[in-house]
Amino acid sequence: MKLKNVNYRLLDDNDFSEVASLIANDYLPNEPILITLNSTKKDAEKLTEIEVKPVLMLNASYGAFDTESGELVGISIVDIGKYKKSESHNSDVPLCIKQFIGIDEVLIGGSLKEYFGTNNYAYCSILCTKHEYTKQGIGTELLRRTNKNAKNKKCENICVITSSYYSEKIVRKIGYDSMITVDYKDYVDPSTGNKIYANIPSPHERITLWVKTFDENNGMKMKDVENFVSSDFNHS
Ligand SMILES: CC(C)(COP(=O)(O)OP(=O)(O)OC[C@H]1O[C@@H](n2cnc3c(N)ncnc32)[C@H](O)[C@@H]1OP(=O)(O)O)[C@@H](O)C(=O)NCCC(=O)NCCS
């Protein structure tokens, strides 16, 4: 397979319609939960309105573009804590989108602001590479750049929720910590009481919340901090 050349840049409001079509044409038919929920393009439009529209102007989301055609072929959609307010409970939101966002809320246990105790976090809510461009490192590079940018913006943490075996490979490679996992076969949807993800296609098995902390002291385990302090005393 011939590797495609791509370049990367931050996205802004002007990219909205291209991002929306990537979500409808590539994210929707390939993201494990949306496949299982039989979501439609209309559902994808609603998801885009909730998850993408309010955050594109934050200078935190990245796009990968085919160098030859200029086409958008990959996205990392990122909220930096100030604008995201889940509208998933509104009555005009289709059930499958409520369920899709609902599992994130189960993992986080409320809002990310409460989870981190600060608004100063980054959250990558959508990672997607156009199908013909996958397996070439584009997803990994999008997340690496997203991380670097969040760190430059002085965010304290960045988190990603992985619903796919492939995105899990990416966060492991970059060095995120796994915080909480739910196995699809065990998950009970709060709105229906059903195990709606029991038949998610292989190799996807679970959804996991991953966090990377940029403050180095926070990243150390308490025991490491104690050892560090005592070895410091021993040397004096
Ligand atoms: C997940 C996704 C963004 C990965 O994009 P990508 O550009 O292929 O990412 P990378 O090339 O960096 O691949 C990461 C790893 O997954 C593997 N991978 C990606 N797609 C694969 C596929 N269809 N089959 C087998 N392996 C695959 C890569 O080979 C690589 O493995 P390695 O680390 O062992 O080399 C892409 O598959 C996608 O858009 N999926 C649909 C939407 C989705 O599920 N998003 C994630 C939700 S959190």
Q: Which atom of ligand 1 is nearest to the CA of 135?
A: 11
Measured from CB, residues less than 6 Å from any atom of ligand 1 are: 27, 30-32, 127-129, 134-140, 162-164, 166-167, 169-170, 173
Q: In this structure, what token pair is assigned to residue 131?
A: 């199908």
pLDDT digits (tens, 9 = 90+) for 28-49: 999 999 999 999 999 999 999 9
CA–centroid distance, 158 to ligand 1, in Å, is 20
Task: Quote the CA–CA distance of 26 and 148 in Å, as a whole number.
Answer: 25
What residue spans of the chain are helical by DSSP H? 16-22, 32-36, 41-51, 95-108, 112-116, 138-152, 165-174, 216-219, 222-235
pLDDT digits (tens, 9 = 90+) for 64-76: 999 999 999 999 9
Task: Quote the CA–CA distance of 99 and 194 in Å, as a whole number.
Answer: 11
Mean model confidence pLDDT for the chain: 88
Task: Quote the CA–CA distance of 47 and 222 in Å, as a whole number.
Answer: 39
Strand order in the sheet with 157-162: 6-10, 62-66, 72-79, 121-129, 157-162, 206-213, 177-183
Helix (H) or strand (E) holding 73: strand 72-79
Q: Which atom of ligand 1 is nearest to the CA of 170?
A: 14
Q: What global pTM score does this model have?
A: 0.90
pLDDT of residue 130: 98
Strand bridging mode 62-66 / 6-10? antiparallel
Helix, strand or coil for residue 23? helix
Q: Is the CATH number 3.40.630.30 carried by domain 6-235?
A: yes
Domain ranges (residues) in the chain: 6-235
Q: How does pLDDT run along the chain (236 residues), one tens digit per residue?
A: 567 899 999 999 999 999 999 999 999 999 999 999 999 999 999 999 999 999 999 999 999 999 999 999 999 999 998 655 566 677 789 999 999 988 888 898 878 888 999 999 999 999 999 999 999 999 999 999 999 999 999 999 999 999 999 999 999 999 999 999 999 999 999 889 999 999 999 999 999 999 999 976 444 443 343 443 434 433 33
pLDDT of residue 224: 41
* Cα-Cα end-to-end distance for the chain: 60
pLDDT of residue 23: 98
- For residue 200, which phi and psi values (nearest 5 degrees)? -60, 135
Task: Quote the CA–CA distance of 86 and 80 in Å, as a whole number.
Answer: 14
- For residue 126, which phi and psi values (nearest 5 degrees)? -140, 125
pLDDT of residue 200: 95
Instruction: DSSP letter for 2, please.
Output: P
Task: Quote the CA–CA distance of 48 and 152 in Å, as a whole number.
Answer: 26
Task: Quote the CA–CA distance of 123 and 61 in Å, as a whole number.
Answer: 10
For tokens 């302090």, what's the residue?
A: 229
pLDDT of residue 236: 31
Instruction: DSSP letter for 190, please.
Output: T
CA–centroid distance, 28 to ligand 1, in Å, is 15
